[in-house]
Amino acid sequence: MTPLLEARGLVRHFPVGSGRRRGVLHAVDGVDLVIGRGESVGLVGESGCGKSTLARLLGRLIEPTAGALRFCGADIGGVSLRRFVRSPERVRIQMVFQDPTESLNPHFRVFDAVADPARRLLGLRDAREIEARVRRALERVGLTGDLVARYPHQLSGGQKARVGIARAIVVEPELLILDEPTSALDVSVQAVILRLLADLRDRLGMSYLFVSHDLEVVRLLCERVVVMYLGKVIETGPTAALFAKPRHPYTRSLLAAVPDPTRRGPPPARLRGSPASPIDPDPNRCRFENRCPLAAPICATRAPELAAVGAEHLAACHFAEPAPVQRET
């Protein structure tokens, strides 16, 4: 089956500094990622690892420096942003942003905020058709009544989050990219929004790329997990397998940091040091080497590649266990 979205060798570099201090920040550096139809993929990693930049590349909000990006087999990475805005694929890929307050136009009432994509992307002009589509999207996220006439400052955080989701699904996309959509909300509201997202995916059959630093949320919502560190994918695999037996030491440290009231014994050891600089990194050095408890001389001279360590499970570590060889009987 043709993947819904496929990225190969995706790169985004940003020039920084000037003169002799000029360098290149490697925000996303050679990422491969595939999202299937109806699949929910979690993208995790600490702040600054490149998650949001990758999400914006996949949503075609910024241009890649290099690499290929295909949607339903069509090349969308080679299409300029100006042309992509008018292409059919623009409608089929939508994004829900991290801060619902900052992402809503303060001068738009709820109805107009949701109607705007229908007018711009679908070219709808008939008032009755627009109203029917907007009302349907708002009902799907649980917003009805006089809320449609309110401005963003008259809404609660949870209500603004629902408006952001309604605005994304009003054009009925096939892929929804969610960039930490609940991180700015109270814990009780987060649970409600997460249940809503799970319900919408079941009802509408959308694929999700769920960007988050909350591993428990990813475990509940996603079938597959992609772990990033300093612009690189360092582990990816089915959620159950990755949580049960993480193969990369960085993934193990992330999972060990998740609060667990049933955990016995001493608290897990915390990572020492800070991430290396993403500016002009050494291509021959593992980017986790300076913090890794397993670091050896080879890690400083040869960067590991993603390799199979299980069924559909890959890790980029010289000391990850290899996948067992299947012998013929």
pLDDT-derived band at 86, boundaries 50, 70, 90: confident
Phi, psi of 176 (to 5 degrees): -115, 120
Backbone angles phi and psi of 172, in degrees to 5: 55, 65
In terms of Cα–Cα distance, which of 142, 204, 194 is closest to 169? 204
The proportion of the chain whose per-residue pLDDT surpasses 70, expressed as a percent, equals 95
> Cβ atoms within 10 A of the Cβ of 103, count?
19
Chain segment 33-78, per-residue pLDDT in tens = 999 999 999 999 998 999 999 999 999 999 999 999 999 989 999 8
Dist CA 302 CA 246 (whole Å): 22
- At 130, list the tokens: 């627009």
Does residue 328 register a pLDDT over 80?
no
Quick one: pLDDT at residue 329? 42
Would you state the pLDDT for residue 268? 65
- What is the mean predicted confidence (pLDDT) over 141-158? 90
pTM above 0.95, yes or no: no
Band the pLDDT of 327: cuts 50, 70, 90: very low
- pLDDT for res 258: 79
Q: Which three-class secondary structure state does DSSP give residue 106?
A: coil
- Residue 309 sits at φ, ψ, to 5 deg, of -125, 5
* Cα–Cα distance measured from residue 185 to residue 101, given in angstroms and rounded to the nearest whole number: 11
pLDDT digits (tens, 9 = 90+) for 238-293: 999 999 999 999 999 999 887 776 766 666 667 888 899 999 999 999 999 999 99
pLDDT in tens, 4-28: 999 999 999 999 988 888 999 999 9
Residues in the chain, how many?
Answer: 329
| Residue 258 contacts residue 264 (beta carbons within 8 Å) | no
Q: Strands 207-211 and 175-179, how do they pair?
A: parallel
Q: Which two tokens stand for residue 217?
A: 């949320």
Reference 209, options 181, 251, 169; nearest CA is: 181
Residue 200 phi/psi, 5° resolution? -65, -40
87-128 pLDDT, tens digit per residue, is 889 999 999 998 888 889 999 999 999 999 999 999 999 999
Cβ atoms 213, 286 nearer than 8 A: no
Long-range contacts of 106-112 (CB under 8 A, 24+ apart): 106/151, 106/152, 106/153, 107/151, 108/151, 108/152, 109/148, 109/149, 109/150, 109/151, 110/138, 110/143, 110/147, 110/148, 110/149, 110/150, 110/151, 110/152, 110/155, 110/163, 111/148, 111/149
pLDDT of residue 323: 53
Q: How far apart are CA 92 and CA 79, in angstroms?
A: 15
SS3 28: strand
